[in-house]
Structures are given as structure tokens and as C-alpha cells.
Structure 1
Amino acid sequence: MKLLIVDDQNSVHMFLDKMLESHTVGISGVFHAYNGKEALVLLEREKPDIMLLDVKMPVMDGLETLRQINAAGIQVRTIILSAYNEFEYARKALLFHVKDYLLKPIDWEELSDKLRMLICQAREDAVSAIQERVGDYLNGQKVASRDFALSFEKLDIKGYGFLCSRSGEGIKLPDEIPAQMICACSSEDLNMSLIRTEDSGVWDALREHFCREDALFIGFSLYQERPEQAPEAMRQSIEALKQGFYEPGTYRYEPDVFSQTSSQLEMELAGRIQDAYLNGDVQNVKLLVERLFTLFRRTKTPPQYVQEFCYSFLLHLNKDFITTFQQLKGSSFTSEFNYYDAASLKNALLRMIINMQCDFEPEEASTDSDVVCRIKQYIDLHYNQDLSLETMSKHFFIGKYQISRIFKKKFEINYSDYILKVRMENAALLLTATSCKLYEIAHKTGFEETSYFSNVFKKYYGVTPNEYRKMEESS
């Protein structure tokens, strides 16, 4: 943070320089002016964050300086330092939104407390300004490179990068890596975080850490050192996230990852899918759609092209089904951010084709959210069966990562935690309402081994199944 000292007494400048050198308050640069006219020049050129301003000075006094600052629209947090303990001075100064009015001789403890408070406020404002720009970018607005320079300077950001993840996937930085999350911003589909790091080595270490998290989709921008590269770094993080379209994981931005050409084979497969659809051969439709997406993956077809291909193909099958498309994903169905992974898009395509094959009315077609609600109902009734994400994905034609993400967002509980909750609650009910043996209860609640069931039950309730039964019987 930059500090401007404006006072006609050299002794004040010397005292403050000495105290700032020997005490850490968060000031990184100090500038000196001996009257208001000099102060205005430094305010325009150096853009300090905080100003200590004397009232009585030659050439231009403090109050006139405040008037001109206000007229010019200059933003600087100001503390008045004055030997005049008069209400009128203080009243006039406060009219110009001065933060505080301190009397000379200067009490360093009081002043340092005020400086720390203003520095904290300035940093918070800088973070808010960055967050606003990131939010604008996520919402499709153009962001200028210069929009980040001043805020980065206030926060002393010299090395940084952006992370982009799917909405609903929180990113927690590991304690052992010296990286700091400056801010995080979310849209309906994306989370984006600005991370400050010491150097490119730390940035690489952070990426390697998240590479061990198999189920995450994270895009890393390249490491940056200049604030004007922020818009480009945000774009890179989104492009890197797209690299997980065919395989979830953590990716660093690389240009030209995907092929830009289509093949004759995909058109032939589309024709065969259409024939199978017209013949009512649902099983063959499933098989051919699998082959189509295998082809997309093998040729590294760009995600946006795959989505537009699917959209056009469905319209080709049934031009009147556009209402269903709009219901399923809203008016932005073809947006490049609707589906981050090929599995979710493939299952959505299959579900819509089967909806059309079964002559469903457009308003009867299921949204992804509707399907996840049905999965929750399925868990409530079939908690003793295989409820893995892979199984549910195949059964309900929805990507497993889509299930996990939407389930957490809709019901505010992780998918696996909900399954455990249902199984444990039903196990507790069976223990108190029946005389079933433990192995029977374990089997009825989806556990193959009694010992594992007992361990899970004790961890969940704090007591063993037998202890729980005895407690309930005695109550």
C-alpha cells in the first residue's frame, strides 16, 4: 500500500519515516509533499491508497486540497493531522469524507491503528474490484486488461494464476503449498478463483496436488506475472477446463488440444442412429451413440462442436422437439458451458432420443434435475442395492459427475452421504422394530459383510448395533 504524507513541517516527515521503518503496518511506499499543490501532482502520478494531510500549509492548505481532490474525483483514504483542535476544521474536513481527524503531536499507536484499519479496507475494496471484474467476465462481458492493474498493485500480487472448476465443486487450497486464494467468483456453470503464488514452481506444485483428485474437473491457466494478462489467464483456465470433456481431471492450458475437423464416419454413424430410431431399435440406438462418442473422443473433437452436432442431430430427428430442448437446458442449450463432460452430454442425448421414441410430449421430458430427483426416490426405496454413480448413470441416462454435482446443489448433501444416511436410518429402524439378526440387517441395508456394517454403524451413531438396540429397548 502507498502512503502520501502532506505536511509543511519537515519534522513530521522525518518522524513518520522513522516510525514506518521500525514498525510493520503494511505500507510499501511512502511519498512526501509539503503543500496541497505538490500533493495533487503526486496523487495523480502515484495514486496512493492513504493520505496523511495537514490543515495549515502554505501555497494550498488542507481544506482546499480536499476540495480539489473531491472535484477531480480522486479516491484516497485521508486522515487529517492538525494542531488545531477546533470543531469547524473537523466539520469541514469530514464533509469531504475524511476517515479520521487526529491532533498533533502525533500519537504513533493511535495513528498506526488507524493506518492498519484503512489498509485492511483498501485491500477489501481491491479484492471486491477484482471479484466484480471476474464476475463480469463469467457473465460474458468484455473486461479490459487495465481493470486489474491498480487492484493487483494494492494487493502486491506479483505472481498468479486462475483456476476454473465446475459449479458446485469447491476448491480448497492445501496448507502445505504457499498459495493464497485472493477471491472466488461463481456463475451458474463455473467457479473461477484467482490464486497468488510465489513463483511458477508453486503454481506447478498446486496443479500436481489437484491431479491426485480423480473426480475433479479443474482448469489451470498458465502462470502469470503481469496484471494486464488477467483476462487472458481467465480465458486459459476455461479452455483448460474443457480439456476434461472426455476424461475428468486437472488440466493446464495448452493451445490447439482439440481437432477442428469433422469426419465422414461421424455422419455415417448419425445416419445409422437415425435408421435405428425410425425402426424403433432402442438397443441399437444406445450402441451406436456409444460408438459416436468413442469416435469423438478418439479424434479429440472440440466440446462445442460435439454439443452443436448433438443439437442439430436431434432437430433433424424431430423439428418440433425444440420445446423439449429449451425445457431441458433453457434457452442457452447450445452454450459451450452446459455440459463439461462427454458422458453427461451422451446420456442427455440418449434420454432425449428415447423420449422421442416413446412419443413423450415435450412437456413430459425430464430435465437433469428431474432425473436426480428420481434417483433420490430410487435410493429411498432400493437402499439395499448397488447405488454406485456408475450404476445410476447407466440406469437413468445421466452422467455420474452430473448426478454428483446436481444432487449436492439440489439437496445440500453429497450423494454418498445421502446413501449412508438412508441406510443407517433404516438399519436403526430394523434394530428397534424387528428381531432380525445383524447379518440380516446388514444385507437388508446394502452391506455384504456384517463386520463392515457394524463398523460403519458405530462410526455413524457412536455405538455398536447391539448397544444401540439395548439402549432403545431400555428407553
Structure 2
Amino acid sequence: MTVVVLDDEEKVCRLILQLVDWSSLGMVVVGTAYNGIDGLALVERERPDLVITDIRMPGLDGLELIGRIRESTDGIDFIIVSGYHQFEYAHNAIRYGVEDYLLKPIKKDELTATLEKIAERHYRRVSAEQTNRDLAARLKNSLGKLRKDFFHDFVFALPSDRRVELETINDTYGYHFRDGLFQVIMIKIDCPPSDFSDGIVRMIAEKAESASHAFLDGSSSDLELYIGVCRIHIVIGYPESERQEVRKAVKRINDELQVQASIFEVVQLTTSLGQAVETIERIAESRRDAEIAMGQRLFSQTGQLYEELPPFLSGSCNDALAVWNRDMEHTCDLLDEEEAMEAVDRLMRSVLSQKACTGVLLLDALKEAGHRLFVLLRNRGEETVEDLSALERRFESELDLLPSVKALQDRLRTLTKNLLESMAESRRQAESRPIREARRYIGDHYRESGISLEQVADIVGLSPSYFSLIFKRETGSGFLEYLTGIRIDYAKELLRSSKQTVAQISSAIGYSDTKYFTRLFKRMVGIKPSEFRKLYS
């Protein structure tokens, strides 16, 4: 496997060359360059399998270089090296398909581990077409799936009293656990929803896996990771004698993740540790404890290791949610945004005031509050607001990414405010529809002397009083004023362009009494019809 090293500092290039036993990895460094332009020429000439490049270089920076190479060449892996802890670089690197990144100062162990991982990927890719390698890959994938199935069957299951022999677990799911203690470690990814991506999770998960094996393999009989949407669960088995060493290792994992997370400005990582259990079938209890401990970051801060459980775990938000239901019913009737915000704040105060309030309880309460609001809208026939099911799914997933009580409260406030605004707009459109029909009808029939508010209200299907109210709100004029304006405008046009008499024009626009028409015309225009004709015909 051939390698090119690019960095604007010659000493960094030398360091990379000296830190690694390249031949033991099956790699050969075929060239180095100290700026982006020379680096691009070197890559185009040598066509290496791997490029290790700094982000900042003169002439052409690392990301531009990767973009240029990707446009013309396939099959090259990249590692970026940077001292810049910025989300933008990592985000762009993911977009260009970068396999990994290293932060300066470069550590020998981390560089070696990264190269081993990329070498493994490279040779797996090269040999994928060989039949025996295909078979090995299928067997490995099958084993990986079996190990992941253990999480669904036991880790994420509800705690129970079922008995399963450890040997059965090992044989069924491909583990090598031995008698001792079993524990769940959780790593939580918090991130503004607009910045969150699968690429971020994938890169963090790789770092978490690397750190877990580096710090825990020496103490554990086996461990496995499960990558969720914004949570990484690690199951570990170890002897009782290693309990303190495992806890120290988990702290080191959390510390290492804080360093790695610094490249993502908007990402916050927190680690929690469930209580150790003595039998593998009780592992769901440890997972539950890790989730409860993780919830405490909402009241404190992210970036810490949480393992202590709050003193009270049994709480209910039913009373607070019942009040929320009544508040939302009233708010949806009035579409009162201020009252809606007060309802959100009242719900938060009620939940937080409970002695047994945990982060898990708070998060569940807010998800339930959102669900009840969506149910209320569906029951009231507000499906036209938007795709309520999609909105509800997005709301729940976004709550899961937020790191604090305030962020959760703000998100519920935003949801409630946006839904009220959508409902108000939907109602405005629903109310304006009959007014549009009424205006069309008036435009077609204003010449008829018998046209009236009651007649038009009946045609559009509204009561006269309600029709009168919304007609004035939509048009800015009362019905009679609007009708008279239409008639007088048409009278002006006839006076300018026709030779009809005033009496004929009066009759043509729906007035049988010419004297009444003349008085009305003068009141609205300021002069008599005959005078208007002299001035404007």
C-alpha cells in the first residue's frame, strides 16, 4: 500500500515518517510535499493508495486538494491532520469522503491505530472480489449481526427476572463473556438539529470504539458497541477485581472523547455509566441506570461522566399533562400565543417541581406533551396545517439532541408557537375562501337591484351576521359600502365612454331611482353625474 505525506512543516512530515513502522503495516511512503500545488502534482504522478495531508497549506489547502483529487481519481483514502478544532473543516472533510482525522500534536499510538484501520479497509476492498475473501466477509458480517442482536434481545429489553446461562449467551450471540460483572456505558451526542448528520455520528463512533478497545480491552472479557441515532451503547464484561480499573478507563474514554469532540464546535459529548450487574440477563437494568444517569446532564452540564442515580426515581407527570391538555384546548380556541407560552412555562414548572423529577422523566413528559398537542390538532381537524405525523417525529428526534432544560423548554415553545401560527393561517385561508366567492358573485351580479347581504351570505353558506363580520375584516369595507363602490366605479366608466343617459346608467347598475343614484354619486364622488361627464368624457 503506497502513501504520500503532505504538510507545510517539513518537521511534521519527518515526524510522521519516523513515528510508524511502515513496513510492518504493509505500507511504503513514496513521497512528501510541503505545499498543496506540489502535493497535487505528486499525487497525480504516484497515484498512491493513501494521502495524509494537513488542512492548512500554501498554494492549495488540504480540503481543496482532496476535492481536486476526488474529481479525477477514485480509490484513494485520506487522513487529514489539523490543529484547527473547527466544525467546518470536519464537516467538509466528511463531505469529501475523508476516512479519518488526526489532531496535532500527533500521537504515535493514534497514528498507528488509524493506519491499521485504513490498511484493513484498503486490503478488504482490494480483495473483495476474491471468493474466499467474500465468504470471510459474509461470516464476519453474520457474526457482527449476531452480536448486535444481543442488544435488541437483552440490552434494550425491559428488565425482567428471566434466567439465561452465560454460556448460552456466548454461543447464541458470538461473545466471550466470563463470570464477573456486566455493565453498560453510554455516550450521548448532543448537537443543534440543523448541524446534526450521520457523518458526525459515524466519526464519533469510530473514535469511541478505538478509545474503548484501547482503555478497556486489558480489563474486560469482551465488549461490544451499538451505534444509535445519537447514543452509543457499550456493553462490557469484566472480573470483580477490575471494577476500579474499568471506572478509571471509562473516565479516560470520556476525557479522550472531549479532545476528539473539540473538532466539532457544535457537538457536545457526555458519558454515563450504569450500575454493574452480576448476571448478564440483568444487563437491561444497567442500560436503564445509564439512561437515568445521563438524563442528569440536562440539569448540570455536558462533557462529564455521570454514574450516580438521583435519590427518587418514581415520578408521574399525569396531573401536569392534564392541565396542559386543558390549556391547549383553550389556546387552540383563541389562538392566543401569549397564553400558549404561559402554558409551556406552567408545564415546565410543574414537572421540575416534582421531588422525583429526573432528566428521563422531563424528556418523556415533553414528548408526551407534544404528542397530546398533535392528537388535539388531529381531533380538531387541523390536518391541513402540515404533515402532523412528520412534524411529531421531527419534534421528538430533535428533543433527543438537546443538552439542557432551557433548550428543551425553548423547543416546546417553538413548536407550540409555530403550530398556532399555522392554525391561524389555515383559519384565515378558510375564512377568506367564502369572501372570495362573495366578491366574485358581487362582481357578476352588482347590476341586479335585488342583491343583498342576506342573499350573498346564503350563497356562500354563512349566517348574515358572521358573513358581515368577516367580510369587513377581509375587505376593509362593509357589504353595502363595497357594493356601492363597485356600482359607482362602473357608473363612472359608462359616463366616460357611453352616450347613455344618467337614468339609463342608474338602471344599468341596479338603481331604479335616478334621483337617489344622483345624490349617492355626488356624495361619493363630490360632483353630479352630469358634471362628471362634462369633465371626463
Query: Which interval holds the TM-score relative to the shorter structure?
Result: 0.3 to 0.5
The structure whose residues are more often helix, as a share, is 2
Please say which structure displays the higher CA radius of gyration.
Answer: 2
- Larger RCO: Structure 1 or Structure 2 (Cα < 8 Å, ≥ 6 residues apart)? 2
